[in-house]
């Protein structure tokens, strides 16, 4: 059986770090939003006496990745087989468009796509794989859910779907063609004070309330926030420059996604996004105009 899936990217409309666990993982409060920028994954699988996994990579980003067992997509396939004690021949084709190290969750989305595709092929319940997905990566459980907007807590694995109402804005994303190491970013983070954390959590509640109550986006875009900007911008000039240039054209509602390196803003229409993009000096940067999923 063959299954083809769209594996969407995500942005973080809000991200605060609320604490640190003894094992070194950081506690988060975030609002994820999936977008219509993504990869296309095709999985073909059949039971067989011996397990065999193959992966082919295409697309503008595929040439930069390894098509072997170091790839998260391959690891996801192997984790599925191990969990259900299945032997199978699995052939995967990943048409890769989401940049890596961009704060867009591309690898996590692809891994979830593999798990969901194999569940469909072998008639398994995807909910059984939520723990396995979290072990593959903190953002993988996000993409196991079908909803577009989800509040994330814990290390990002505690997810609460958010149901938006009203007309949603368009997004203009700028990828500065540089990668940011998530591990390195969290290693340099200084936790905010309890007072500051509580203030920002109140902003997150207000943001979620606005999204779920059809409040026009220009009234809530000022609530967008990312704690990790203070760890990235001083040390990554390409990201700092991209965000600065975007803020020069649109002062409010510009943000870095996740741990970077992509920055984005929200606009009312596709035409407004295109006009804004035309005013940017892209150079080595890549621009994406898209919508929420």
- CA dist 35 and 254 (Å) reads 16
List % helix, strand, coil for the chain (3-state, nearest 5): 35, 30, 35
Say which of 39, 95, 110, 139 is annotated catalytic: 139
- CA dist 143 and 292 (Å) reads 14
Q: Are 147 and 211 in contact (CB under 8 A)?
A: no
10 an active-site residue?
yes
Q: Are 257 and 287 in contact (CB under 8 A)?
A: no
- CA dist 157 and 148 (Å) reads 15
183 an active-site residue?
no
Neighbours of 49 (CB within 10 A): 7
Give, in order, the Cα–Cα distances in Å from 289 to each of 122, 227, 264, 269, 278. Answer: 36, 24, 10, 10, 11
Catalytic residues: 10, 139
């Amino acid at each position: 059986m063959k299954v083809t899936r769209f594996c969407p990217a995500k942005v973080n409309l809000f991200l605060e770090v609320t604490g640190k666990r003894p094992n070194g993982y950081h506690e988060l409060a975030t609002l994820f939003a999936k977008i219509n920028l993504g990869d296309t994954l095709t999985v073909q699988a059949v039971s067989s006496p011996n397990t065999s996994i193959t992966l082919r990579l295409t697309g503008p980003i595929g040439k930069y990745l390894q098509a072997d067992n170091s790839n998260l997509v391959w690891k996801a396939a192997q984790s599925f087989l191990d969990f259900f004690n299945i032997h199978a021949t699995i052939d995967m084709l990943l048409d890769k468009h989401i940049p890596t190290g961009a704060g867009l969750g591309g690898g996590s989305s692809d891994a979830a796509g593999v798990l969901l595709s194999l569940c469909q092929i072998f008639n398994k319940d995807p909910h059984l794989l939520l723990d396995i997905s979290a072990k593959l990566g903190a953002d993988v459980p996000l993409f196991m859910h079908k909803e577009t907007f989800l509040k994330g807590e814990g290390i990002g694995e505690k997810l609460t779907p958010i149901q938006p109402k009203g007309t949603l804005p368009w997004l203009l994303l700028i990828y500065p063609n540089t990668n940011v190491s998530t591990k390195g970013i969290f290693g340099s983070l200084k936790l905010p004070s309890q007072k500051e954390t509580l203030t920002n959590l109140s902003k997150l509640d207000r943001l979620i309330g606005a999204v779920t109550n059809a409040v026009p986006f220009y009234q809530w875009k000022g609530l967008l926030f990312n704690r990790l900007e203070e760890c990235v911008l001083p040390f990554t000039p390409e990201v700092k420059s991209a965000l600065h240039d975007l803020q020069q054209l649109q002062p409010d509602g510009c943000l870095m996604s996740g741990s970077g390196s992509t920055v984005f803003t929200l606009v009312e229409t596709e035409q407004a996004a295109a006009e804004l993009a035309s005013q940017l000096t892209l150079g080595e940067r890549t621009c994406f105009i898209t919508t929420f999923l």
